[in-house]
Structure 1
Amino acid sequence: MAQASTTVDKAKALLEERRAELQEELKQIESAISGLGGRKRGPGRPRGASSTTSSARAPRRRRRRGGSRADQAVKIITDNPGIGVAELGKKMHLKAPNYLYRVLPDLEKEGRVKKQGSGYHPG
C-alpha cells in the first residue's frame, strides 16, 4: 500500500511541476500578445484574411457570347404572339421554365413584351 501512495505522490508532484511550467509559459504568451497590440479572440468564427491574395480571388467571369435569354424570349414571343410561359420554356429548351417568371416581368417593365391574359405579346 505504501508503494501505491508513493507512486501517486510522485505522479502528483510531476503534474504540479508541469502545471507551474505551463502557467509560466501562458504568462509569457499573453504578455507577447499584448505587446504586439493583439487582443484575445472572442467567441465565434475567426475572420478571414483582410487582404485577398491571388489564390483567394474569385474566378473571373467571361463575357457572354451571343444574345441573352431575355432577347431570345422576345424573339420567340414576336414570332408566336400569345405564347404562354410553359410553351416559351419548351421552345427555348429550358430545363426549368420557372426562370421565365423572373425574366418576363422585367421585359414588361422595359416595354419589350405585354402580358394579355396568360399569354405574352410583342411590346
Structure 2
Amino acid sequence: MATDYLSEARSALEEQLKALREQEGRLERALAELGGAAPRRRGPGRPRGSKNGSGSSTPRRRRRRSGGTRAEQALELVRQNPGMTIPELADRMGIKQNYLYRVMGGLESEGAVKKDGRGFSAT
C-alpha cells in the first residue's frame, strides 16, 4: 500500500519536472527572440555567486619546504632502499602511515619518486 503511494507521488513529481523543463525551453526561446541572450548555466553544484570553475586571478600560495623535512628523510630512505613500501618507511621513520601517504603523494607529484607496485623508487 505504501509502495503504491510512493510510486504515484514519484510519477506526479516527474510529470511536474517534465512540464517545468518544457516551460523553461519556451521561456528561453522567447527571451532570445526579444533580443536578450539566454543566461549561461553554471555547472552542477556551483553556488549562485561564482562565475566559473577555472582558477582565480591570483595563484594559490604554496608553502615552501624547509630543510630536514619528512619528505627529504623519506626520499633518502627510498634512495638507499628502492622498493620500500609505506609501512616499511613509517616503521623506519617512526611516524604514522597516514601521514606518510601524504608525504609520498607530494614527492610523487613533484616527480622525486615513482610508485612501483606497492613500493617506491627514486627518480
Report the TM-score, using the length of structure 2 for normalisation. 0.45
